[in-house]
């Protein structure tokens, strides 16, 4: 008999839950057309991702070298 007392609450809660799930699923399945959000692959012939990675690694190397020089000067 507990099931009979739960039915009204389920009827009230079901529509918002269904709406929430449908919005979440629709948001997950939407395709992105904005080029900013597109995944850049290293294997793409017109991709600059490899160049950006190389540039970032070179910048990190320069920063590490500058830190080493500053640490040596402070000691």
The beta-strand segments (E) located in 1-75 are none
pLDDT digits 0-9 by tens, 27-60: 776 666 666 656 666 666 666 667 788 888 999 9
CB 49 within 8 A of CB 42: yes
Q: Where is pLDDT greater, at 34 or 22?
A: 22
- 53 Cβ contact list (under 8 Å, min separation 6): 42
Tell me the C-alpha distance between 66 and 60, whole Å. 10
Size (the chain), residues: 75
The proportion of the chain whose per-residue pLDDT surpasses 90, expressed as a percent, equals: 36
Domain boundaries in the chain? 2-29+48-74
**pLDDT for the residue 53:** 81
Question: Does residue 62 contact residue 70 with C-beta atoms inside 8 Å?
Answer: no
**Its pTM surpasses 0.95:** no
Q: Does residue 50 contact residue 42 with C-beta atoms inside 8 Å? A: yes
């Amino acid at each position: 008999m507990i099931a009979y007392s739960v039915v009204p609450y389920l009827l009230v809660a079901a529509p918002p839950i269904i709406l929430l799930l449908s919005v979440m699923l629709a948001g997950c399945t939407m395709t992105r057309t904005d080029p900013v959000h597109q995944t850049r692959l290293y294997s793409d012939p017109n991709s600059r991702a490899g160049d950006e990675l190389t540039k970032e690694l070179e910048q990190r190397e320069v920063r590490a070298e500058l830190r080493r020089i500053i640490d040596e000067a402070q000691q």
